[in-house]
Homo-oligomer: A and B are copies of this chain.
Amino acid sequence: MQRSEVDAFLRVDMGTGSVTKLPMPATWRLLGGRSLVARIALDEIPPLCEPLGAENRLLILNGLLAGTPLPCSGRLSVGGKSPLTGGIKEANSGGICGHMLARLGLRAIVVQGQPLDDRWYLLYVHPEGANLLPADELVGLSTSETAARLRERFGGRAGFLVIGPAGEMRMSSASVAGTDMEGRPSRFSARGGMGAVMGSKRLKAVVLEPARHNPPLADRERFMHAVRRFIEFIESTHQTAVVYPIYSTAAMVMVANSMGFLPTRGFSAGQFDQAETISGEALHDTILARGGEGKTTHACMPGCIIRCSNVWPDPTGREFISPLEYETIGLLGSNLGLGNLDEIARLNRLCNEIGLDTIEIGAAMGVAAQAGLVPFGDAEGFVRLLEEIQAGTPLGRILGNGAEFVGKAYGVLRVPAVKGQAMPAYDPRALKGTGVTFATCPQGADHTAGHTARANLDHLSPVGQVEASRAVQIAVAALDSLGLCLMTAPAVAGQWELLAELVSARFGVEWTAQEIVELGRHTIRLELEFNRRAGFTFADDRIPEWMTHEPLPPHGTVFDVPTEEMKKIYDFA
């Protein structure tokens, strides 16, 4: 069992202050990322527990292929029971921490309990072990201020996971920020309020020292051969080789606008009259025109060959934010009636500094606009709302707890959310397969759990959407378990034999395509079981009532995939 030395996890008890390095149990070993979150949650988190209480766990872990030479394999998962949805949550992000964890010989960090005192802590993980250190001096700092202080103390080569004021205030839209290759705390495990869970543990930061303990490969030659094939797929796929590196994820803006599902002014329309000025093309051209520190393409993790990230400069060419992405442009841009990338970037940067999910907060501010708090299109007004969140005012508490909370506070029924989690930038009335994912997925409304924009079917028709959603839900659950970036999906989703080859060569097993698909299915099964034990039923698997009767311009469609059909989506489970 030499492997246990390198296949270990940390158990951190905030109640006692103890930190223990333990071998991975056999039942956890061939799981990773989203599937490992679900497994540990079922094993250790009482499903009915209070998400912000001592019984919940904060799970920080990487995928099955983390730390290997495979490109795009270093996604970091942050999970537990979500304070936003009340169900299972896995929020993953790029950056360097997933790989760094692997190189420290770690597959997971399990944080349990809560401090008995009211002090704040950071978890310092280094090649020889790990321990909790006082961190009261970091309290109240923004994510970038926190990272800057940590960099002064631990050096520029360490990786950091931090929360901002939102996480400290245990707001349900609080995110966890991880550092990228240049040390920006810009890679957000954003969804489901995992920053609030981290805050409830009074854990302000996790520091990962660099290490060179590369995970062993059972068959290095076989692995590297598969890696070369993987790279060929990436480099020969238009989306991964051309579109993402040039236009970033923002490439989706004009696609969404032309297909009519771009959230606009509080999800009241699917096309935005200023879509072009916030498009991937505009983003690309403006970065080039401004010159200076801007970058149209950028890698968030070592070895990334897609480089869908970017660096957005201010008008003088100084770096303003990295990255500026589609979901943020959709929710903080068109959804708020804002047609200016600088304005969106400003809101984005404020969200990042406070440690907020831009999707949830964009949706929440869209609901606030419906309630009359700020007119659509008023960028300054939305900045003021974010400042309220930062200051923890009553209005800030309302907004910081997400779209559904704002709706309830102000009696606004037009809330775009499922299981309490706001929808990403795909209106389900004009992209119905993604709507099926939003409705059914155990994570709440989540495009990364399976979106269907590239599926070959009529996205306005209810026909075939359940099958389309099912297929992609299983596929991405597998990718998320391997630790692969979702941006690889256009190239390798479906190349199950190749992915099986990678797992086989890494772990010394003999997986086939079937085991990869089964990994995806197994993940969803585990998540469904956690949610069932947490009290979820069919009643939670629904697109909000108003989207079933309010037609979406320009196509005039409502969400009409039959409930009875959606109920069968997990019949494989």
Contact = CB atoms under 8 A, between A and B. Distances in A.
Given A48-B539, A537-B535, A542-B48, A401 B408 contact: yes
Contact of A409 (B47, B48, B398, B545): B398
A409 B413 contact: no
B410 A397 contact: yes
Contact of A405 (B393, B408, B535, B544): B408
Contacts of A463: none
A521 interface: no
B545 A53 contact: yes
A184 interface: no
Contact of A535 (B55, B540, B545): B540
Given A535-B537, A537-B537, A539-B535, A172 B394 contact: no
A411 B169 contact: yes
A108 to B, nearest CB: 25
A451 interface: no
A534 interface: yes
B535 A411 contact: no
Contacts of A53: 413, 545-546
B170 A411 contact: yes
Contacts of A537: 535-537
A397 B397 contact: no
Nearest to A196: B411
A534 B539 contact: yes
User: Which of A47, A196, A410 has most B Cβ within 10 Å?
Assistant: A410
B398 A545 contact: no
Nearest to A399: B394
A491 to B, nearest CB: 40
Contact of A52 (B169, B394, B411, B535): B411
Interface centre among A394, A542, A545 (most CB of B within 10 A): A394
Interface in A377-420: 393-395, 397-398, 401, 405, 408-411, 413
A49 interface: yes
Interface residues of A, number: 36
Q: How many copies does the complex hold?
A: 2
Contacts of A538: 535
A50 interface: yes
Nearest to A169: B411
A186 B53 CA distance: 40
Interface string A367-378: 000000000000
Contacts of A535: 537-540
A517 B258 CA distance: 63
A172 B408 CA distance: 9
Contacts of A47: 539
Interface string A53-81: 10100000000000000000000000000
Given A53-B545, A537-B535, A397 B413 contact: no
Contacts of A55: 545
A409 B409 CA distance: 10
Contacts of A534: 539
Contacts of A196: 411
Contacts of A539: 47-48, 534-535
Contacts of A52: 411, 413
Contact of A545 (B49, B169, B171): B49
A204 to B, nearest CB: 15
Nearest to A408: B401
Interface string A17-55: 000000000000000000000000000000111101101
13 contacts: A47-B539, A48-B545, A53-B413, A53-B545, A53-B546, A169-B411, A170-B411, A393-B394, A394-B397, A405-B408, A535-B538, A536-B537, A537-B537
Given A53-B413, A398-B409, 17 more contacts: A48-B542, A49-B545, A50-B413, A50-B544, A50-B545, A50-B546, A169-B411, A171-B411, A172-B408, A394-B394, A394-B395, A394-B397, A405-B409, A534-B539, A535-B537, A535-B540, A536-B537
